[in-house]
Amino acid sequence: MATMIKPLRTVLTAALLTIATYGVAAEVAGGHPDTYVVQKGDTLWDIAGRFLKKPWLWPEIWQANPQVKNPHLIYPGDVLSLAYLDRVAVQEGPRQEAPINAIPLADVEAFLKDLRVVDEFESLPYVVGLEEDRLRGSLDQVVYVKGLPDAQPGQRYMVVRPSQRFQTLDPKRCCEPSGRRAQTLDFRGQRNWGTESLWAYQLPPSGGEFLGYELAKVTTGTISRGIVGDAEAATLLIDNNGHEVRAGDRLIPVEAQAYDLQFMPHAPVQEPSVDRARVIAVADMVSSGGTRDVVALSVGAADGVNNGTVFSVWRQGSIEVDRVKAGIDRSPDAHTRGEKVKMPDEFTSHVMVFRTFDKVSYALVMDGVRPTRLGYRLKHPDATN
């Protein structure tokens, strides 16, 4: 008996309806081919974006088909069948390349390995001095550390430095960037203007809720000698070409891998607060980001956010004077509330979280129609306004 051919829309609808968490089918983009050959440089999001209008739904579609053993283990050269119900599987290619991911890891590597957000850092061990009373230390030099009374030779530590103090934006006064550069911090967590910063960041004019301190990797080192004799500090040998170490830098143990390398896009488990859930920083010292730029968000694990969470990002609608009703003779500030009209919010992009902390998360801009700016709101990925 000939195999019954079904259109892709029917296939995906059937697949999605088997999943309780999604009651509606994904919208399929028009003009799709019957098959697609996975290319080097593809991401799973990019592939889904070619054929679906909601690319964050690809894990559910592929997992609903038992032929796909692992939706992450898809390689360049594999053939994705898009036309038949019994062939929505991967036809294996040569398997000569690494499997593709939801996002390009190269774009987020520094944020995975070199940054973390903590509630406090004052209790961490710290560099108290350097060999020969130097002001800075580098590769193959030693520094002296206070706060490690049980340090043993061979233990490895990452030298870190507080770089940002994250806080929420004031929704009543702070919706657009003010043009002010990010502030960095010194070893005490105090403002240190004019030094290098990874983020462009706007402090709220009237302050905001404290979210955490960001610690940036300086370098790594190995304990070469514990506390001996009448010394009150352990000795750390710098073993990596990083930034120069200075007194006051903090230490944390080196972890084998404290972050995810695979991501499953999904909608938030709970609706974000549009007043609290905002873009609070944009990487690379700019005030707006585009596709494949990294942003920091004012929500984290405490808000139900985990790695793979997808948000839509929206510019808050302006409030305009209804000049037809109110007339144009007075200045805008002189008009009453009844003479002003709130404009709709404007969609800008989708972002996907790839690193989650308690109250802050890092996300990658996956697609967009406008720049993603500081202060923009976060909503459900399917939000229409």
pLDDT, tens digit, 9 for 90 and up, residues 294-309: 999 999 999 999 999 9
Rounded to an integer, what distance in angstroms lies between the CA atom of residue 330 and that of residue 333?
Answer: 8
Rounded to an integer, what distance in angstroms lies between the CA atom of residue 177 and that of residue 376?
Answer: 10
Q: For the residues 239-248, what does the mean pLDDT come to? A: 92
Instruction: Tell which of 238, 253, 268 closes a domain.
Output: 253
**Same domain (yes/no): 236, 153:** yes
**Same domain (yes/no): 290, 343:** yes
Rounded to an integer, what distance in angstroms lies between the CA atom of residue 126 and that of residue 147?
Answer: 7
Find out whether 303 and 277 touch, Cβ atoms under 8 Å: yes
Domain count, the chain: 3
The pLDDT, as a whole number, for residue 93 is: 75
Lowest mean pLDDT among 160-164, 187-191, 216-220, 249-253: 187-191
∠128-252-262 over CA atoms, to 5°? 155
Q: Which amino acid is at 211?
A: L
pLDDT surpasses 90 at 278: yes
Q: For the residues 97-104, what does the mean pLDDT come to? A: 79
pLDDT surpasses 50 at 242: yes
Backbone angles phi, psi at 262, to 5 degrees: -125, 140
Instruction: Count CB atoms within 10 A of the CB of residue 260.
Output: 14
**Same domain (yes/no): 285, 357:** yes
Supply the mean pLDDT for the chain: 79
**Same domain (yes/no): 136, 211:** yes
Q: For the residues 22-44, what does the mean pLDDT come to? A: 66
Lowest mean pLDDT among 3-17, 83-97, 143-157: 3-17
Backbone angles phi, psi at 43, to 5 degrees: -125, 160
Most confident option among 77-91, 193-207, 236-250: 236-250
Rounded to an integer, what distance in angstroms lies between the CA atom of residue 164 and that of residue 177?
Answer: 17
Q: For the residues 173-195, what does the mean pLDDT come to? A: 53
Most confident option among 4-8, 15-19, 317-321, 368-372: 368-372
- 263 falls within a domain: no
Instruction: Tell which of 215, 237, 253 closes a domain.
Output: 253
- 194 falls within a domain: yes
- 270 falls within a domain: no
Per the model's pLDDT, the better-predicted residue between 68 and 279 turns out to be 279
Most confident option among 1-10, 63-72, 246-255, 282-291: 246-255
Host domain of residue 23 = 8-100
- 366 falls within a domain: yes
Lowest mean pLDDT among 73-77, 215-219, 363-367: 73-77
- 272 falls within a domain: no
CATH number at residue 375: 2.40.10
**Same domain (yes/no): 235, 284:** no
Sorting pLDDT into bands at 50, 70 and 90, what band is 351? Answer: very high
Question: Which pTM was predicted?
Answer: 0.79
- 326 falls within a domain: yes
**Same domain (yes/no): 199, 247:** yes
Rounded to an integer, what distance in angstroms lies between the CA atom of residue 103 and that of residue 184?
Answer: 29
The pLDDT, as a whole number, for residue 335 is: 56
Rounded to an integer, what distance in angstroms lies between the CA atom of residue 379 and that of residue 385?
Answer: 9
pLDDT surpasses 60 at 99: yes
**Same domain (yes/no): 116, 93:** no
The pLDDT, as a whole number, for residue 306 is: 94
**Same domain (yes/no): 94, 176:** no
- 88 falls within a domain: yes
**Same domain (yes/no): 116, 140:** yes
pLDDT surpasses 70 at 64: no
The pLDDT, as a whole number, for residue 156 is: 96
The pLDDT, as a whole number, for residue 289 is: 86
**Same domain (yes/no): 243, 183:** yes
**Same domain (yes/no): 284, 346:** yes
Q: State the Cα torsion 307-280-183-187 to the nearest 10°.
A: -30
- 307 falls within a domain: yes
